[in-house]
Structure 1
């Protein structure tokens, strides 16, 4: 039984936690709205406590006006019979009048401060309505079914509109003393409790809660704007480290964060520049010993050994050049611009035709795409070279619009990659497949690495797929998707 209770408790906590928003925006809105709503509840409690001290004010004013009208009617009566008729006619279950026989009752010494204030309020209303002083003795004044029974906010659910029970004796000038016992209220005092509560909750709490949520959403969205700018800047930094620095504007904390972000960006730029300078220096320094080795190789008496060593030296030089090209190829050092992708592909295909290769380009796109022209051309050139090298000097290119991107598919008629697991590994630096593809002349295993890095810098993707017909691989398709950025 204890285990079941523990499990049920954890299940309830999990359900409550599942309602907790997953975004910072949602969490801040909930926190602000809940805090303001809790403050509203506490304010309502204080309001009810303060309101209790003035519960009799409206009923007392209404009662005073009614007494003034009663005195005026009695004063205007032409004779005693009419006065008696007026007193009898005005009386009902909630307003009982009778003439005092003998001396009037004195004002009780036990009246509270609130009751004495109520007596003064009634006298003031009568004096204002009749333009003459009237002697009024307040015997008693109590709240009936008022706004306070349990106290505080809870009294709202256990009360009607407040009414007052009054017992006064007043002197009608020249006529004697009247004893009046009345229950006076205000409009809506007989409203059903459920309707009163719903009306109160709708107007006071629901509308305010909606307003608080709206204000919180606007305020939080405004407050989180710097975070959105940071996220966009970080995403752009991943594509182009040479992007413009983040504007250091806004509150002090935002300015400090932007300054730190820009400092980090500059450190990365300096680090990449140092790496490039290092590789360039290594490449330059290797040329001298490689040249000496080439001279010594030419002096070897054995032609077979000389040919093998010459090939090794060429491979070493090719690796050094390819490594330097790979570092320079993925660095973005140019501004973003609109690129006519079809024209760029046609130009690369024309260059291939001039070199004796057969490359065709088909398809179109509706508009230029944003990108870095030199790097994108390097990416496409590497893909062209791979397709020509492994596809028997032939390749076909198709360019189309797909949803919010532009798709370029470069197809060759080569052997493809039979092992599906290697379709991803070929993007690793210096990785080459031990098959007919690796036997093709040229290549260092960095072309696809550079191409995917450039695609990622544009926010795009690059994947390889075998083209299969009747269960047999007839070629390889390289699919490059670039965001349109309309």
Structure 2
């Protein structure tokens, strides 16, 4: 079963080719079987322009072999609306010049009965009341008279014997093709219908279950992309909700303090104290607005010397008395959004300096990626909280809201790195400290502006 699954095509093109090939093979098999079954019972086709020639040949042979006393009775029984046999009474015929059909019938009978022209006499008859001309055959030996209408008539049973295999084969081909076509359309379109239903339901349920990845490779890729889109939208909505809750919670403290200062009055309501609380609120709102702009706005990517960027960043911090060092190559070209990436690196360095006194930046690369490692000597993050540290509005210490921070520094850095199709990983180092490792593709064709 597993071997069959490996051989089974996974693309729409491959599946359609397989279905058409199977239908052709099955149809040819059915046609071959029907022809084999029907071929032995098919009567031989007479060497003439119509099937009446065979009937006339058979009738002549039957009359010649029958006793004289029974010939007339046999002649009446084998006569029909198209051919009339007579032994004793000449059949009526208004003679006209012999036409080519009558001449052809004459030659057929001479050949089939192995007789001479004197043994088979022929003449053409004028049209009767039905308007159809006929041929008149007379055999002096046995006084056998035959009149047959001159048109290529094929009897129904003979027609059915000739056409049944082809008709059944055609109907089999039609039914097999239609069945496989409808089944393949249903099988291939079923995952697409599920995606359409999922998209419609997504308007009512913001966090639906992911759709099963079924069908051909192209449909699986579409389903996987749709599931990722649903997850991103759901995460974005959850993020916005968490942002509003965090902003509302954090603004409540300075607002309450402002009301209390105004109620108490005196030194508590001094301009300096009010200015401090208003500045804190403004810092919170600016941080939230920057985070929202960072999610929707992006600069144009360009070729950047990543080594020079990191070296300049460490020199800027060193110039203001902070202990930040750089170690790595002197140049390394990377396609990135320079300003946004510098913002992410600054956030990581600021976070390290906030909890530690020294920060080291290390740069290395392989053939496809640049690896930036930023380490500090702070206390690090508890291992249980490492996965949550990159979430927006998440703070390890909720009491730090008084400094105006919203817990967005690491989440902004992670969002920028993700937009570069990179990866940001946090880990603790021994004996103490936190390490942030960024992996970026050097040539990023998927980077969107």
- TM-score bin, normalised by smaller chain: 0.3 to 0.5
* TM-score relative to the length of structure 2: 0.44
* TM-score relative to the length of structure 1: 0.42
- Higher alpha-carbon Rg: 2
